[in-house]
Amino acid sequence: MARKAAKPAPETPSSAPRPDPRRRVVEALMTLAASQPYHTITLSEIAAEAQVSLADLRDCFPSKGAILGGLMRIADRAVLDGTGTDMADETAHDRVLDVMMRRFDALAPYKEGLRSIHRDVRHDPAALIAFNQVAVNSWRYMLEAAGIDTNGNLGTLKTQGAVLVFSRAFEAWLEDGDDMAKTMAVLDRELKRGEKVLSAADALHRLTAPLRGMARAACEARARRARPNADHAMDLPG
């Protein structure tokens, strides 16, 4: 006897789409951090706040530190999505300043949580090293958005310098008012200081270029002299 076809389930009105689970997890951590010390927050609490299972939380992020990395990517996206050509005629100083201020705007909804997290991790060397690497990855894109070339011999110095400038301004921003006057002042001062360091580094790089060329030539000549001896040794009977 043939089975009767099952009746289709009644249609229900479509509900509004929920935010991406990864973003819900990030926002859950920041909500919890705004009301309790960061080091006391458990993964189970984050999962409950985000309304995801612990297994789904594990699929999204392997650790609390990785969730903070997720927040950095949210800020990256906000800045990059808002980058246009209106600053193209401005100086490099003003373009980088604009990117940094827009990054603070992106982080503003999470300020209370960030203040709590900063108190907990600022004396944790391992956490600071991990955050620095995440920040370096972010600032490659931030500097690109500002029209700053990070390729070449000074690229790493530019990127790490931007991380240091932003981190110093970040401490001022955590305690700053809505006008962000202190933050702007720190950014302006630190950017000018960084520009002097880069200028000196560039001058030193140009000055030592002939010495580096001589060193390379000496190494290549030594390698050429050693190669015939190595080839001859390979021809000797075993």
User: Which pLDDT score is estimated for 83?
Assistant: 83
Q: Can you tell me the mean pLDDT for 109-128?
A: 92
**pTM attached to this predicted model:** 0.75
Mean pLDDT score of the chain, rounded to an integer?
83
* Residue type at position 104: F
Give the pair of three-digit tokens for residue 181: 């006057």
User: Which pLDDT score is estimated for 87?
Assistant: 73
151 is a domain residue? yes
- Cβ-in-10-Å burial (0-12, 13-18, 19+) of 139 comes to buried
- Integer angstrom CA distances of residue 30 from 54, 110, 130: 17, 6, 19
214 is a domain residue? no
226 is a domain residue? no
- The answer to whether residue 204 scores a pLDDT higher than 60 is no
Q: How far apart are CA 112 and CA 159, in angstroms?
A: 27
Q: How far apart are CA 114 and CA 166, in angstroms?
A: 14
Give the pair of three-digit tokens for residue 132: 């620095």
Q: How far apart are CA 78 and CA 141, in angstroms?
A: 12
Instruction: Assign residue 98 the CATH number of its domain.
Output: 1.10.357.10
Structural domain for 100, as ranges: 21-209
- What is the domain count for the chain? 1
- The answer to whether residue 84 scores a pLDDT higher than 50 is yes
Nearest residue to 72 via CA among 163, 160, 5: 163
User: Which pLDDT score is estimated for 3?
Assistant: 40
Nearest residue to 113 via CA among 102, 121, 125, 123: 121
236 is a domain residue? no
233 is a domain residue? no
120 is a domain residue? yes
216 is a domain residue? no
220 is a domain residue? no
Q: How far apart are CA 98 and CA 111, in angstroms?
A: 19
What pLDDT band is residue 155 in, cutting at 50, 70 and 90?
confident
CB 113, CB 34: distance < 8 Å: yes
Q: How many CB atoms lie within 10 A of CB 236?
A: 6
